[in-house]
């Protein structure tokens, strides 16, 4: 039986096992919405802005290892989605975005709500397609899911002109897909594995630096085994938090601009650095020249060859899927007759522990007068037993959440690391809650970020998503203010959030519960009350210290050992 | 350093812009870029002349390989290879000037493909450097138009880029 292109598209999503489709209707996708209406396998979540649809699909994917799917209309629907797509691209999140396009005969005529979707998204997708024939819909969507999920994951856009979605064709969903120009790697070359194993065993000061790739590849267990087998210090990047348990004694905290003193010093002074699914980001290693001053051997495992030797010189490049590569490496280490230099390792750990003491750990001066944002995160950690899914927006609150919530499991920490997208947290939390029904999901945000997608409180009401929103409200764009204080002579240019809404009333207006917390002594009771309300979304407006800064801090352009500790100021 | 990179990619709409977009987005140089379908009409062969440090060239190769539509990449300048570029030059030339031009053209193994009362058009196929030399050998003020295709490259002997 022949189906319309729209029906075919929805059937494809059914075949892919898509539970939730995040979207917003419009002219060019009316046929697809009509097909959606006439089935009940794929549930549609109507967001209030297309950017949120993509972030929700993103949160869904990050917290579950499934492909997130979003559906938007042409023109402004697509352009609104671009920030979400770029966010997913920077963090390598598997996602398929279907966009409507003006009818194929009108393309290029500046038709109503026409934009060059493929052109606009080209630099921020793994791949994209413009469908020109109804017969291509099924094979293209099959390819899109395959590309999104395999290799280094990423978002894939499928642009479907309106007339194509009304044309008819036989529905045949391909069982498998091969793309001759695309062959993602699996296992790594054994010679490289042997070289890596030898180098690690010969090291005097080895260190493991693990990034988001560990989470994406599902390689946490393998990483944990490796870290313990080698008895080395391990650091997880912002994207990799939870990839290695934060409460373990071999964990030295997050590296980078707001990483711990010990993580940064160990990264800087180690003699062999094993980078696992991490990309030596500027926010992680700071100044490249400064980093290169210390001679150290680098072994870099990544699924994407272009991530290797992009910013730093690498001695042993290893290309492959982390989970498989780490299995190979574990095997090579087990069968090796060589053993690590025990006395060198003892000395190395002594040094790392000295840095731990010198850095003084993550710390802040608590107050009985004013709420310290770090205190809120510490209490959040306690009250949720460290087991919640935490999404965040971008800024100081993001760094505090990353520092003070000790993630022991992967896929629990959901944030926009690469693009740094304010407005990500709330919609991402919606996706997290939908794919993890019954789980505790909290969004740590600020009064600046939350207003970038606050309309989603309405979506949460419609779909009964009992999120807990913790807004660390310091009346400033805190991270901007911090940089202005440190590097721009206290000139707080446009970083002050004047005329804020009454967030309690705002939450109530959307049909939720709002709480305002002013005193440190009220933090714990408020959190307890909020998290006890299993079926309600609770918006907590914490009035926090407007002058608090994020420490430690490696200033932009500086090296990892040039860190500013809290007491230095 | 100058590199000449050859690649095979799907002959699909938008494939060229993915390559061109990659170069502009990441700030890589393109000196020239030529592309046309191969004997297999589903594949296009592209030759890119670029320049950069070893690290940048390494990234260019990796980033090109990463494009889904790109099936194979070869840095021709890493081994023995041949390259040719086609140039058409229209020159203001009459009488003695025209004779002199034809003499120079002969030396460069070019040929005259069009003549009018006041102009002479020359076709020349050679390495990019030879074409540069030709342009230096003739009076610059007489040149009316220069049309160059950019280099096309191929490996020598058994160096073959094929799927």
Residues of B in contact with A181 (CB under 8 A): 9-10, 68-72
Contact A118 B65 (CB under 8 A): no
**Counting one residue from A and one from B, how many pairs have CB atoms under 8 Å apart?**
39
pLDDT in tens, A77-136: 999 999 999 999 999 999 999 999 999 999 999 999 999 999 999 999 999 999 999 999
Task: Evaluate the omega torsion of the peptide bond into residue A552 and state whether it is cis, within 30 degrees of 0.
Answer: yes
Residues of A in contact with B46 (CB under 8 A): none
Exactly one of A7, A16, A22, A50 is catalytic; name it: A50
Give the list of residues 6+ apart from residue B88 with CB closer than 8 angstroms, or none.
B113, B121, B122, B123, B124, B145, B146, B147
Residues of A in contact with B18 (CB under 8 A): 122
From CA A260, how far away is CA A243, in angstroms rounded? 17
Which of A25, A44, A205 is CA-nearest to residue A99? A25
Known active-site residue A430: no
pLDDT at residue A565, rounded to an integer = 87
pLDDT at residue A568, rounded to an integer = 62
- Cβ of A198: how many Cβ atoms within 10 Å? 15
Known active-site residue A113: yes
Residues of B in contact with A130 (CB under 8 A): 13-14
Give the list of residues 6+ apart from residue A145 with CB closer than 8 angstroms, or none.
A16, A67, A96, A156
Searching chain A, which residue's CA lies closest to the CA of residue B9?
A181
pLDDT < 50 positions in chain A: none
Q: In Å, how far is A281's CA from the nearest CA of chain B?
A: 16
The CA angle B118-B120-B124, to the nearest 5 degrees, is 165
**Which of A122, A126, A179 is the closest to B17 by Cβ?**
A122
User: Tokens 């260019």 correspond to what residue?
Assistant: B60
DSSP-assigned letters across all residues of chain B: -EEEEEEEEE--TTHHHHHHHHHHHTT---SEEEEEE-SSTTEEEEEEEEE--HHHHHHHHHHHHHSTTEEEEEEGGGS-EEEEEEEEEEEE--HHHHHHHHHHHHHTT-EEEEE-SSEEEEEEEE-HHHHHHHHHHS-GGGEEEEEE---EEEESTT-----
Searching chain B, which residue's CA lies closest to the CA of residue A310?
B59
Searching chain B, which residue's CA lies closest to the CA of residue A151?
B66
**What are residue A107's phi and psi, to 5 degrees?**
-60, 130
pLDDT in tens, A467-503: 999 999 999 999 999 999 999 999 999 999 889 999 9
- Enter the tokens of residue B95: 């009488």
Q: Does B38 lie at the interface with A, CB-CB under 8 angstroms?
A: no
pLDDT at residue A569, rounded to an integer = 54
**A197 and A332 in contact (C-beta within 8 Å)?**
yes
**Which of B10, B13, B55 is the closest to A181 by Cβ?**
B10
Q: In Å, how far is B153's CA from the nearest CA of chain A?
A: 21
Contact B21 A118 (CB under 8 A): no
Q: Does B14 lie at the interface with A, CB-CB under 8 angstroms?
A: yes
pLDDT in tens, B70-110: 999 999 999 999 999 999 999 998 888 889 999 999 999 99
**Which of B14, B68, B163 is the closest to A182 by Cβ?**
B68
pLDDT at residue A322, rounded to an integer = 97
Known active-site residue A265: no
pTM: 0.96
Q: In Å, how far is A89's CA from the nearest CA of chain B?
A: 14
Which of B152, B26, B14, B149 is CA-nearest to residue B70? B14
Searching chain A, which residue's CA lies closest to the CA of residue B56?
A310
**Which of A118, A182, A306 is the closest to B14 by Cβ?**
A118
Q: In Å, how far is B161's CA from the nearest CA of chain A?
A: 14
Give the list of residues 6+ apart from residue A298 with CB closer than 8 angstroms, or none.
A272, A273, A275, A312, A313, A314, A315, A316
ipTM rounded to 2 decimals: 0.93
Known active-site residue A112: yes
- How many Cα atoms within 13 Å fall on the side-chain side of residue B108? 28
Question: Rg of chain B's alpha carbons, rounded to an integer?
Answer: 18
Contact A309 B58 (CB under 8 A): yes
- Enter the tokens of residue A467: 């999120």
Q: Does B70 lie at the interface with A, CB-CB under 8 angstroms?
A: yes
Q: Output DSSP code: residue A326.
A: H
Exactly one of A113, A351, A455, A485 is catalytic; name it: A113
pLDDT at residue A413, rounded to an integer = 98
The mean predicted confidence, pLDDT, of chain B is 95
Q: Does B68 lie at the interface with A, CB-CB under 8 angstroms?
A: yes
Give the list of residues 6+ apart from residue B130 with CB closer than 8 angstroms, or none.
B108, B124
Q: Does B27 lie at the interface with A, CB-CB under 8 angstroms?
A: no
Beta-bridged to residue A273, according to DSSP, are A207, A298
């Amino acid at each position: 039986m022949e189906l319309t292109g729209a029906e075919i598209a929805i059937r494809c999503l059914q075949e892919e096992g898509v539970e939730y489709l995040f979207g917003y209707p419009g002219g060019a996708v009316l046929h697809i919405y009509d097909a959606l209406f006439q089935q009940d396998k794929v549930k549609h979540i109507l967001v209030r802005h297309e950017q949120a649809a993509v972030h929700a699909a993103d949160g869904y994917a990050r917290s579950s290892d499934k492909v997130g799917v979003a559906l938007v209309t042409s023109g402004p629907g697509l352009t609104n989605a671009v920030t979400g797509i770029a966010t997913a691209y920077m963090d390598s999140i598997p996602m398929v975005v279907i966009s409507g396009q003006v009818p194929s005969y009108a393309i290029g005529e500046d038709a109503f709500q026409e934009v060059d979707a493929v052109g606009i998204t080209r630099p921020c997708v793994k791949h994209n397609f413009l469908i020109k024939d109804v017969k291509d819909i099924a094979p293209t969507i099959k390819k899109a899911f395959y590309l999104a999920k395999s290799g280094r994951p990423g978002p894939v856009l499928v642009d479907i002109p309106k007339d194509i979605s009304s044309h008819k064709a036989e529905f045949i969903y391909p069982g498998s897909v091969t793309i001759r120009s695309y062959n993602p790697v699996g296992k790594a070359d054994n010679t490289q594995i042997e070289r890596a194993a030898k180098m690690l065993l010969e090291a005097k000061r080895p260190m493991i630096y693990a990034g988001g790739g560990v989470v994406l590849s599902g390689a946490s267990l393998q990483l944990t085994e490796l870290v313990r087998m080698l008895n080395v210090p391990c650091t997880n990047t912002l994207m990799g938090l939870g990839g290695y348990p934060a409460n373990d004694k071999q964990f030295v905290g997050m590296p980078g601009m707001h990483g711990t003193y010990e993580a940064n010093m160990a990264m800087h002074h180690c003699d062999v650095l094993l980078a696992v699914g991490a990309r030596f980001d500027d926010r992680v290693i700071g100044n490249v020249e400064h980093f290169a001053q210390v001679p150290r051997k680098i072994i870099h495992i990544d699924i994407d060859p272009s991530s290797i030797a992009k910013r730093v010189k690498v001695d042993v490049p290893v290309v492959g899927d982390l989970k498989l590569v780490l299995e190979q490496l574990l095997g090579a280490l087990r069968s090796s007759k060589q053993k690590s230099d025990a006395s060198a390792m003892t000395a190395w750990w002594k040094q790392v522990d000295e840095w731990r003491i010198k850095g003084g750990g993550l710390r802040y001066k608590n107050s009985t007068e004013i709420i310290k944002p770090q205190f809120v995160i510490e209490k959040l950690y306690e009250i949720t037993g460290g087991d919640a899914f935490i999404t965040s927006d971008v800024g100081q609150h993001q760094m505090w959440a990353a520092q003070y919530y000790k993630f022991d499991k992967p896929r629990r920490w959901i944030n926009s690391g690469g693009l740094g997208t304010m407005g990500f947290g709330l919609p991402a939390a919606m996706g997290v809650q939908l794919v993890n029904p019954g789980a505790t999901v909290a969004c740590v945000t600020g009064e600046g970020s939350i207003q970038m997608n606050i309309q989603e409180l309405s979506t949460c009401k419609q779909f009964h998503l009992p999120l807990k929103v913790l807004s660390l409200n310091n009346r400033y764009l805190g991270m901007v203010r911090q940089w202005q204080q440190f590097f721009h002579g206290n000139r707080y240019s446009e970083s002050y959030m004047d005329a804020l809404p009454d967030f309690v009333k705002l939450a109530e207006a959307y049909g939720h519960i709002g709480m305002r917390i002013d005193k440190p002594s009220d933090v714990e009771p408020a959190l307890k009350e909020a998290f006890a309300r299993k079926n309600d979304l609770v918006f907590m407006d914490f009035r926090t210290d407007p002058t608090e800064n994020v420490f430690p801090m490696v200033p932009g352009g500086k090296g990892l050992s040039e860190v500013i500790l809290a007491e230095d100021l | 350093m100058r590199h000449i990179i050859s690649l095979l990619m799907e002959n699909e709409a938008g494939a060229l812009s993915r390559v061109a977009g990659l170069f502009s987005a990441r700030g890589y140089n393109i000196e020239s870029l030529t592309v046309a379908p191969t004997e297999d009409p589903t594949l296009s062969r592209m030759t890119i002349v670029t320049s950069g440090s070893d690290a940048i060239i390494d990234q260019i190769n990796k980033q090109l390989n990463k494009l889904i539509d790109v099936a194979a990449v070869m840095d021709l300048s890493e081994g023995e290879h041949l390259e040719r570029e086609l140039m058409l030059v229209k020159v203001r030339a009459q009488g003695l000037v025209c004779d002199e031009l034809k003499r120079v053209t002969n030396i460069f193994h070019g040929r005259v493909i069009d003549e009018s009362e006041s102009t002479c058009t020359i076709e020349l196929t050679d390495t990019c450097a030879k074409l540069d030399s030709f342009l230096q050998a003739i009076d610059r003020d007489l040149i009316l138009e220069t049309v160059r295709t950019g280099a096309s490259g191929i490996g020598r002997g058994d160096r073959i880029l094929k799927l």
